[in-house]
A = this chain, B = another copy of it.
Amino acid sequence: MQNLLVASTNVGKLKEYRELMADLPVNWLSLQDVGLAHMEVEETGDTFRANALLKAEAYCAASKLPTLADDSGIVVDALGGAPGVYSARYAPTAEERNAKLIHALEGVPFERRTARFVAVIALVLPDQVTIIAEGRVEGHVGLEPRGTNGFGYDPVLVLDDGRTMAELSSAEKNQISHRGRALAKLHPILHCLFG
């Protein structure tokens, strides 16, 4: 079994990696597992990729283990790409973030509210090899939040079929989510490296 560090203290995220990559002979470790939960890495990058790389590189250097990190958010065209890398810091709570986003788009007609969820996953190996995969979900920012099966900006991203991400079942969401898509691209490479 190959040890692989997921640069996160989020138990839900680690579980997601374990489930989606269950067929790989990989022992998924959290920052707690390797005693690095105290180590903070500031996300100072101006792209999702830069932030994912910052985290993966710092924790790889500290742990000497192959290390995965991700960064994600919502990119709204009518706001010049905002909130983008600031998605998680856009307002204190998810509810407030969604309200703020809808307020920022007041008066913008639905067809011009194009937006996407973007997730970038970076895998940094101790021998200076890096693999980066990006996944996207395209949609529009709705006129109001809808749906309860999700978190973050899920209730405000309306897909082509008219449902928001928060109106999908968990299985549907795993299949089309931005992180799910990035992971699906990473999977054959992980299989090759560690399988």
A residues at B contact (CB < 8 Å)? 127-136, 185-186, 188-189, 191-193
Closest 9 CB pairs of A and B: A192-B192, A128-B134, A130-B132, A129-B133, A129-B185, A131-B131, A127-B185, A189-B189, A189-B192
Q: What CA separation (Å) do A121 and B102 show in the bound complex?
A: 42
Q: How many copies does the complex hold?
A: 2
Q: Which of B127, B130, B136 contacts A131 (CB 8 A)?
A: B130
A133 contacts across to B, CB distance below 8 A:
128-130
List chain B residues, Cβ under 8 A from A132: 129-132
**How many Å from the CB of A66 to the closest CB on chain B?**
13
Inter-chain contacts of A192 with B (CB < 8 A): 188-189, 191-193
Give A130 to B47 CA distance when docked, in angstroms.
Answer: 15
Give the nearest-CB partner of A120 in chain B. B128
Q: How far is the CA of A185 from the CA of B127 in the complex (A)?
A: 8
Q: How far, in whole Å, are A79 and B176 apart by their CA atoms in the complex?
A: 49
Known pairs A129-B131, A129-B134. 18 more at Cβ < 8 A?
A127-B185, A128-B133, A128-B134, A128-B135, A129-B133, A129-B185, A129-B189, A130-B130, A130-B131, A130-B132, A130-B133, A131-B189, A188-B193, A189-B189, A189-B192, A189-B193, A191-B192, A192-B192
